[in-house]
């Protein structure tokens, strides 16, 4: 019995079905795929089989050394046993899904987020190949998707897509992406990439292998008999029904990013800026706590700098703040962070700084050269609808001082900040925060910008600014689980018959993020381990 239809839930269901277990997966909404479907669909899997195929050296010990440096002392959710279980099982998950027909591709140039540390590598991040959604048949209609066009762009394309107007390589990659989108659609196919490919391929395997999937079916309670979770109470079609589970129940319903009461109790900010889906309300977490489960890292989330458009759409800033000709400033107009650092680090810095210096909202300040050269969210380079300026979503001014006035900050302070940064940009060395020093910083950058591909003076009018909020991809604190994904009680003992994975649980990553796919990787690996343990 699996509750939740994101990457973790589908992985648990596929694994259980492949091992011969009669499997039911339920999703409380009418759309399947969870937050995973709207994500980049990337998994961080060290020593994965595609690295071996390509002759790229890696090992469990190297990955452990790397994790130890960024995750700190192993305790609770981040125990040595859980770290080892995750790293050891990751390659097995990749091979298992490949054996079921899942097609993988590697992002060879993507570095770990702290590439200068011992044990860091490039190419540990994987994603699904482009997938034809028409293979899902009637299930395609209920796949959770974003509004608007969906070009067949994979995660490994984006570092070049942002350079379409700057480099020949970027232009060629962009042409290929839109060319293959057109070809697939002309052939009557429905190209699914990124998170849509990930959940699409998993659902395709699940249906083929006999998994029963119920949509519009909510988890209401766990059935506990003689200390063992023996089933669930579901609400379906306006009625409550009890389903018994002989081997176990796997909770993969996501976190509590949209549960306002829980966020007020545990989190530093509410749900105003989260990118998690609206149904991410802690159902599995609450059911587990009611059954006597322990919890950890409840104050934690996958933080990141976020835009909030006038229509309420939230979007993570991944590449925008890293491109030359832009900076982040607090409400006083001062820089406070390496803008090119990982989104977790930048988001967490906003929250921590806001405790002493008002930093919500922060502002991303750009000049016109930046706006003409690089995309901003879904806006192509050089295209800025006047409606976005009139609404106040984007601020435009003829000078830095006028921009400061529009943002209600001291013009002299912002001018001083910009002048200091411009000096760094001309010399190619960010003396305050080291932007552009790390290989990770330079993954999203402009190689034509010399001497530092992340730095360019902010000097060409008009000048632009956009608010930045401390958003999140979802919470990542929750039920405490062991190395076999078994939910633990307050005494540290497994609750028989109860498993959990993904954002329903306290993440093995603790308060860090090792590389692209550090969210979905552990979610799917521990879901796989849960189903394997039930089989045994």
* Residue 366 near residue 461, CB atoms below 8 Å: no
Using CA atoms of 54, 59, 65, 71 in order, give the dihedral in degrees to the nearest 10: 70
Cα first-last separation, the chain:
16
Residues sharing a CB contact under 8 Å with residue 74, sequence separation 6 or more, in sequence order:
68, 80, 83
User: Residue 244: its pLDDT value, please?
Assistant: 97
User: Residue 312: its pLDDT value, please?
Assistant: 81
Residues sharing a CB contact under 8 Å with residue 416, sequence separation 6 or more, in sequence order:
none
List the domains of the chain with CATH numbers: 151-190 (no CATH), 303-472 (3.90.700.10)
CA 325 to chain centre: 26
Distance (Å, whole) CA 169 – CA 163: 8
Kindly state the tokens that stand for 235.
């609400």
The string of DSSP letters for 217-257 reads EEEEEEEEETTEEEEEEEEETTEEEEEE-SS-EEE-----T
Distance (Å, whole) CA 181 – CA 186: 9
Question: Which positions of the chain have pLDDT values less than 70?
Answer: none
User: Residue 477: its pLDDT value, please?
Assistant: 96
User: Residue 309: its pLDDT value, please?
Assistant: 87
Q: What is the pLDDT of residues 458-483, one digit of tens each?
A: 999 999 999 999 999 999 999 999 99
pTM: 0.96
User: Residue 73: its pLDDT value, please?
Assistant: 86
């Amino acid at each position: 019995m699996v509750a939740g239809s994101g990457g973790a839930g589908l992985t648990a269901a596929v694994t259980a079905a492949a091992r011969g277990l009669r499997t039911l997966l339920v999703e409380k909404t009418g759309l399947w795929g969870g937050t995973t479907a709207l994500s980049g669909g990337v998994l961080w899997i060290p020593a994965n089989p595609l690295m071996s195929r390509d002759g790229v050296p890696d090992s469990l010990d190297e990955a452990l050394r790397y994790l130890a440096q960024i995750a700190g002392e192993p305790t609770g959710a981040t125990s040595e046993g859980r770290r080892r279980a995750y790293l050891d099982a990751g390659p097995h998950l990749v091979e298992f899904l490949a054996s079921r027909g899942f097609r993988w591709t590697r992002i060879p140039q993507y570095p770990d987020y702290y590439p200068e540390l011992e044990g860091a590598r490039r190419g540990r991040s994987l994603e699904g190949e482009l997938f034809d959604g028409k293979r899902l048949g009637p299930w395609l209609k209920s796949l959770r998707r974003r509004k608007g066009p969906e070009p067949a762009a994979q995660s490994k394309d984006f570092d070049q897509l942002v350079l379409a107007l700057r480099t020949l390589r970027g232009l060629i990659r962009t042409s290929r992406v839109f060319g293959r989108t057109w070809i697939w659609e002309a052939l009557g196919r429905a190209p699914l990439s990124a998170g849509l490919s990930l959940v699409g391929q998993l659902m395709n395997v699940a249906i083929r292998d006999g998994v029963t999937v119920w949509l519009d079916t909510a988890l209401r309670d766990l059935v506990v008999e003689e200390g063992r979770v023996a089933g669930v109470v579901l609400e379906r079609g306006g009625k409550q029904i009890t389903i018994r589970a002989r081997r176990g129940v796997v909770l993969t319903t996501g976190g509590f990013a949209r549960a306002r009461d829980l966020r007020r109790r545990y989190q530093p900010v509410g749900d105003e800026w989260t990118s998690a889906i609206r149904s991410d309300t802690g159902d599995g977490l609450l059911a587990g706590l009611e059954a006597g489960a322990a919890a950890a890292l409840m104050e934690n989330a996958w933080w990141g700098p976020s835009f909030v458009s006038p229509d309420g759409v939230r979007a993570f800033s991944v590449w925008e703040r890293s491109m030359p000709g832009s900076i982040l400033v607090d409400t006083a107009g001062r820089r406070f962070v390496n803008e090119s650092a990982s989104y977790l680090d930048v988001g967490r810095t906003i929250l921590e700084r806001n405790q002493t210096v008002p930093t919500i909202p922060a502002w991303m300040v750009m000049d016109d050269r930046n706006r003409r050269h690089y995309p901003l969210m879904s806006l192509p380079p050089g295209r800025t609808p006047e409606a976005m300026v009139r609404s106040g979503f984007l601020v435009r001014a003829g000078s830095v001082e006028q921009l400061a006035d529009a943002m209600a900050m001291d013009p002299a302070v912002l001018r001083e900040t910009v002048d200091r940064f411009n000096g760094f940009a001309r010399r190619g060395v960010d003396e305050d925060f080291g932007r552009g020093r790390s290989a990770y910083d330079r993954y999203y950058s402009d190689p034509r910008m010399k001497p530092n591909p992340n730095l360019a003076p902010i000097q060409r009018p008009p000048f632009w600014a956009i608010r930045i909020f401390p958003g999140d991809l979802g919470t990542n604190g929750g039920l405490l689980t062991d190395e076999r994904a078994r939910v633990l009680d307050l005494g540290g003992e497994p609750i028989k018959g109860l498993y959990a994975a993904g954002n329903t649980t306290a993440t093995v990553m603790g308060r860090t993020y090792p590389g692209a796919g550090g969210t979905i990787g552990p979610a799917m690996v521990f879901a796989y381990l849960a189903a394997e343990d039930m089989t045994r």
